[in-house]
Amino acid sequence: MTKHYDQIIIGAGITGASIAFELSKKGYKPLVVDKLPAAGLGSTSSTCAIIRTHYSTLEGTAVAYESSFYWKNWAAYLNKKNSKNLARFIQTGAVVLNKKDFDWSKYIKHHDALKIPYEIWTPDQLLKRMPHFVDDSFFPPKRPDDPGFFNPPVEKISPVVLFFPNNGYINDPQLSVENIQQASEVNGATFMFDSEVAEIRKHANRVDGITLKSGQALDAPVVVNASGPHSFVINRLAGIDKKMKIKTRALRHEVHFVPSPERFSYEDEGITVGDGDLAGYHRPEVGNIILVGSEDPDCDKLDWVDDPDHFNRTVTNAQWRAQVYRLALRIPDLPIPNRPKGFADLYDVSDDWIPIYDKSDLDGFYLAIGTSGNQYKNGPVIGQIMARIIEACENGHDHDLEPVTIGLKHTGFNLNTGFFSRNRDIVGDSSFSVLG
C-alpha cells in the first residue's frame, strides 16, 4: 500500500531536518528519507560547525546572524524545557586576518548595517591574544613543494584584524541534527532511514512522490531536494538538472587535526581563526587539539567528484602537509605529528558557492542545495525560508515572478529569497570559496 505524506524531504542532514521541523511546526506531516542509517550522518557529520557572521554578501550575513540567535538558545528553539542531551554552542569569538591591503569594507559595512558586534584589532592586539602567532604575511598561499614556501617573509599582515565576539562553534553537529529530528517527530514528522531514492515520480509536470530502491512507493504533492552532495543526482532523477542557470556538484575536502602548541592551550584559550593570508581556518577541538581547514587557495587543485557514493575518504599526505604546514607558518611551534589525522568528505557546491533555496521547473519539486561548507550554521533559518517558499508556491504564488520576502525575527532584515534563485546570475560579491 502506497503511503501518503504532506511533503517528502530527501536528505536528513541539517538542511532536511530543519525544513521538516519548520513544516511540522505549521501543522504539516512531512517525511524525511535518507539512504544512511541515522540523521546527520552524511556531510553534516563532517562539518566544522563554525558559527560565524562574516559573509561576503549582505544576505549571507543577515541569514547567519539570524541563525546565531537560535543556536545560542537551542533548547528554546527546539521547544525543550532543558538542555539535557542537546548540542552546545561554544562561544569562543572569531578573529579574521588577511593579507596586507585587503579590503575589509564590505564585511564592516554588512555588520554595521545589521548592528552585529565586532572589534577592530591591530596586529599587536592579535599577538597579545594569540601569543603563539606571528604577524608575518605569507601571501599568496603556497604548497610545501613550492620552492618559495620556506622563504623568509618580507611583509606583515593587514594592519586591520577583525574580531567577532559572538562567534564560535557547535560541539557536536550530528547531535544537533538528532535534536531537530526529535523535535520534528514530536510535531508529527516522520524519518525513514536506510532508504535510497530510485525515482522521482511525476505526471503532467507535477511531482507525485518518490520510489525507493526497495520498490516502495511514497506519495506527496511536494518533494524537497535537500540531499547535500547528492543534490545533482536527485535533480537528474527529477529531470530538472538542465533547466537551471546555477548548477551544483560534489567537491572532496579534507580537514585535519594537530595538537595544541605547548605554550598555548586551545581547549582553554583558543578562538576560531580565519586566516585569509594563508587561505585556511582553524578552531579548538575537544582534547586540546586544533581542527584545521582550507579556504581553497589557487595553489590547491579542487577535487571534484562525479560519483558521490564512491570517493577517496582517506586523508592524503599531500593535502595534510599543505594545510598543516601552512598553519605552522602562522604558529612556528605547532607540533606536527608523524602520521596524518583527519577526515575527508564532500561539499555540495553551487557555481558561485551561494546556496539555492527555491522552487524548480517541476511543480511541487523544491531545492535546498549547494549548501555545504558554509551553510550548516544557517540550518534554522534555511528551514524557515523553505517552509515559507513551499507554502506560498503551493497556494498559487509565482515565486519566479515575485520572490518570497521574509522578515527575519531577530535582525529585522527583510530577506528577498530571490537572492538564492536557481536562475540567478552568478553573485559577483561571493568569495567563491567555503567562506560563502
What are the tens digits of pLDDT across the range 232-241?
999 999 999 9
Mean of the pLDDT values across residues 197-202?
A: 98
What is the C-alpha to C-alpha distance for residues 410 and 412, in angstroms, rounded to an integer? 6
Task: List the alpha helices (DSSP H) in 52-122.
Answer: 58-72, 74-77, 105-114
Q: Please tell me the predicted confidence (pLDDT) of residue 435.
A: 80
Q: What DSSP line would sit under 146-175, residue for residue?
A: STTTTSPP-EE--S-EEEETT-EEES-HHH
Please give the domain boundaries of the chain with CATH numbers for all domains.
Answer: 3-84+172-247+352-420 (3.50.50.60), 94-165+249-350 (3.30.9.10)
Confidence of residue 30 (pLDDT cuts 50, 70, 90): very high
Check: pTM over 0.75? Answer yes or no: yes
Mean of the pLDDT values across residues 123-143?
A: 98
* CA 295 vs CA 174, 273, 322, 411: distances in Å: 23, 12, 12, 28
Task: Read off the C-alpha cell for 175.
Answer: 547531535
Mean of the pLDDT values across residues 32-58?
A: 95
Backbone φ/ψ region at 312: left (φ over 0), alpha (ψ -120 to 50), beta = beta
Residue 82 in this model has a pLDDT that exceeds 90: no
Residue 324 in this model has a pLDDT that exceeds 80: yes
What is the C-alpha to C-alpha distance for residues 410 and 329, in angstroms, rounded to an integer? 40
Task: List the alpha helices (DSSP H) in 247-316.
Answer: 266-269
Confidence of residue 1 (pLDDT cuts 50, 70, 90): low
Task: Read off the C-alpha cell for 119.
Answer: 572589534
Burial of 429 (0-12, 13-18, 19+ CB in 10 A): middle
In contact, 344 and 251? CB cutoff 8 Å? no
In contact, 210 and 197? CB cutoff 8 Å? yes
Q: What DSSP line would sit under 166-233, residue for residue?
A: T-EEES-HHHHHHHHHHHHHHTT-EEE-S--EEEEEEETTEEEEEEETTS-EEE-S-EEE--GGGHHH
In contact, 166 and 91? CB cutoff 8 Å? yes
Q: Please tell me the predicted confidence (pLDDT) of residue 283.
A: 97
* CA 11 vs CA 32, 150, 193, 228, 235: distances in Å: 7, 44, 10, 7, 13
- Per-residue pLDDT of 251-300, as tens digits, reads 999 999 999 999 999 999 999 999 999 999 999 999 999 999 999 999 99
Above pLDDT 70, what percent of the chain?
A: 100
Rounded to the nearest 5 percent, the helix, strand and coil shares of the chain are 25, 25, 45
Task: Read off the C-alpha cell for 40.
Answer: 546527520
Cis peptide before 123 (omega within 30 of 0): no
The owner of cell 552568478 is 426
Q: Tell me the average pLDDT of the chain.
A: 96
What is the C-alpha to C-alpha distance for residues 367 and 223, in angstroms, rounded to an integer? 9
What is the C-alpha to C-alpha distance for residues 24 and 43, in angstroms, rounded to an integer? 24
Half-sphere exposure of 326 (CA within 13 A, CB side): 32
In contact, 251 and 302? CB cutoff 8 Å? yes
- Per-residue pLDDT of 208-242, as tens digits, reads 999 999 999 999 999 999 999 999 999 999 999 99
211 φ/ψ angles, rounded to the nearest 5 degrees: -120, 130
DSSP 8-state assignment for residue 42? S
Residue 92 in this model has a pLDDT that exceeds 70: yes
What is the C-alpha to C-alpha distance for residues 78 and 75, in angstroms, rounded to an integer? 5
Q: Please tell me the predicted confidence (pLDDT) of residue 83.
A: 81
What is the C-alpha to C-alpha distance for residues 346 and 70, in angstroms, rounded to an integer? 26
Q: How many separate helices (H) and strands (E) can be counted in the chain?
A: 10, 26
Residue 433 in this model has a pLDDT that exceeds 90: no
What is the C-alpha to C-alpha distance for residues 74 and 366, in angstroms, rounded to an integer? 27
